Structure 1
Amino acid sequence: MTARTALIVRGGWDGHQPVEATEVFVPFLETNGFDIRIEESPAVYADADEMAAIDLIVQSVTMSEAGHDEVMGLRAAVEAGTGLTGWHGGIADSYRASSDYLQLVGGQFVTHPSRRPDLLVEGAHENNYLDYTVQITDLGKRHPITEGVDDFTLTTEQYWVLHDDLNDVLATTTHPTQPWHPWHRPIVSPAVWTRLWGKGRIVVTTPGHTPEVLEHPSVRTIIERGMLWATRTASAS
């Protein structure tokens, strides 16, 4: 049997530790029969011949930029059946200047609310670490990615995401109202979603600010299951 090929694309903002974060999942991919290719920029997306051989893309590129040809190459590969997945800013806060990319993934990070003002320390990442719950939706309770995963709590960045109705939301998180924030009612934001694009499957998981968060049993289970679910299927070949 021909091995499946996973392309890891990593880079962008160093604060999300793209190398360390993606290395967490290399053994899982190898155990599941993937040949792994690693690229440090999205330039490979513009190479149609190379992309045609990829069954799964794992992207971890926060912010940064991708050229028009690169984004359109990524879109074409997913439309033809290549799976796309990632976590946190590596997929939900990539290539902010590209509306074509944002349409593909279906959600864009806009903020992670902070702690109380009296707890803030200038420049500290922990300013945005909150205790919050990831709640599995009714769809998520019967989806192969999240089935059997109970609601769980994290202490890390809680992503507020702008999104659209093409997403199938498997888990959500709720941003409460607080006296120091300007919104007037709780905001429910997707925390895990899937998206069908042509013959391809996309999975986005918003927790994952550090490798330690990625090692949380529920987060890791969701990401690993999502990798297998997103991978090119026989009908997409």
Structure 2
Amino acid sequence: MTARTALIVRGGWDGHEPVAATELFLPFLRENGYALRIEDSPDVYADSDAMAATDLIVQCVTMSTIEREQVEGLRAAVEAGTGLTGWHGGIADSYRASSDYLQLVGGQFATHPGKRPEKRAGGPADNYLDYTVELTELGRAHPITAGVEDFALTTEQYWVLTDDLNDVLATTTHPAPPWHPWHRPITSPAIWTREWGAGRIVVSTPGHSVDILEHPSVRTIIERGMLWATRRA
């Protein structure tokens, strides 16, 4: 049997631990028959031969930049059937200046609300909130999330800007506390899929740190998403 090929593209902001985060999933990919290629920039996206031979892209690149030829290559590969997946800022807060990239993935990080001002100490934990990831009706039946119950996390809660091409498997609701300027609760997608040409895309917004990626529900969703997004025969 010919091995499937997974391309891991990692880099960008160090705060999301792109190396440690992606290393967590490499054994799973190997155990499921993937040959792995690891790159530390999106340069590979402009290599049409490499992309044609890639069945799955796992991207973990927060912020950073992408060149026109690179995003064109990424879009073409997904349209032709290459799967694309990732978590948190590694996919939903990548390449902010590229509207073509944002259209491809279907969601862009906007903010992560914070604690009460008097409880902030000036570190990352200022934005760690207790919140719940709630499965949608679609999510309760989808292969990625079937059997996963609503689950609670204490970490960054992503507010994302999205469009209705996404198939939303889970959501999270941001309250409207008096120290933030919005006036009613806002529900954002937390897990979604998106079909683009022959390709499949899966985005999970939980995943700020390795301990969150090790949460059983988060890890299950990401690993199932890798399998689901992989190029179909």
Superposition TM-score tier, normalisation by shorter sequence: over 0.9
1:5 maps to: 5
1:211 maps to: 210
1:103 Cα deviation after fit: 0.1
1:100 Cα deviation after fit: 0.1
1:63 maps to: 63
SS at match of 2:104: helix
2:135 maps to: 136
SS at match of 2:188: strand
| Aligned counterparts of 1:181 and 1:98: Cα–Cα separation in 2 | 28
1:155 maps to: 154
Counterpart residue identity of residue 187, structure 1: I
SS at match of 2:54: coil
SS at match of 1:146: coil
Residues 73-131 of structure 1 deviation map (CA, whole Å, 9 limit, x = unaligned)? 00000000000000000000000000000000000001000000010112x00000000
| Aligned counterparts of 1:203 and 1:69: Cα–Cα separation in 2 | 23
1:156 Cα deviation after fit: 0.1
2:47 maps to: 47
Task: List aligned pairs for 1:96-107, cutoff 5 A.
Answer: 96-107=96-107
| Aligned counterparts of 1:120 and 1:68: Cα–Cα separation in 2 | 40
| Aligned counterparts of 1:183 and 1:215: Cα–Cα separation in 2 | 32
| Aligned counterparts of 1:163 and 1:58: Cα–Cα separation in 2 | 20
| Aligned counterparts of 2:156 and 2:113: Cα–Cα separation in 1 | 8
2:29 maps to: 29
Sequence identity percentage: 76
SS at match of 2:164: coil
1:217 Cα deviation after fit: 0.1
RMSD: 0.3
1:223 maps to: 222
Moved over 2 A (4+): none
SS at match of 2:108: strand
Aligned: 1:72 with 2:67: no
Residues 56-89 of structure 1 deviation map (CA, whole Å, 9 limit, x = unaligned)? 0000000000100000000000000000000000
| Aligned counterparts of 1:37 and 1:129: Cα–Cα separation in 2 | 33
What TM-score results when the alignment is normalised by the length of structure 2?
1.00
SS at match of 2:177: coil
2:182 maps to: 183
For structure 1, the residue ranges without an aligned partner over 5 or more in a row are none
SS at match of 2:145: coil
Counterpart residue identity of residue 161, structure 1: V
| Aligned counterparts of 1:224 and 1:55: Cα–Cα separation in 2 | 15
What TM-score results when the alignment is normalised by the length of structure 1?
0.98
Counterpart residue identity of residue 147, structure 2: G
1:233 maps to: 232
1:149 Cα deviation after fit: 0.2
| Aligned counterparts of 2:210 and 2:18: Cα–Cα separation in 1 | 9
Counterpart residue identity of residue 199, structure 1: A
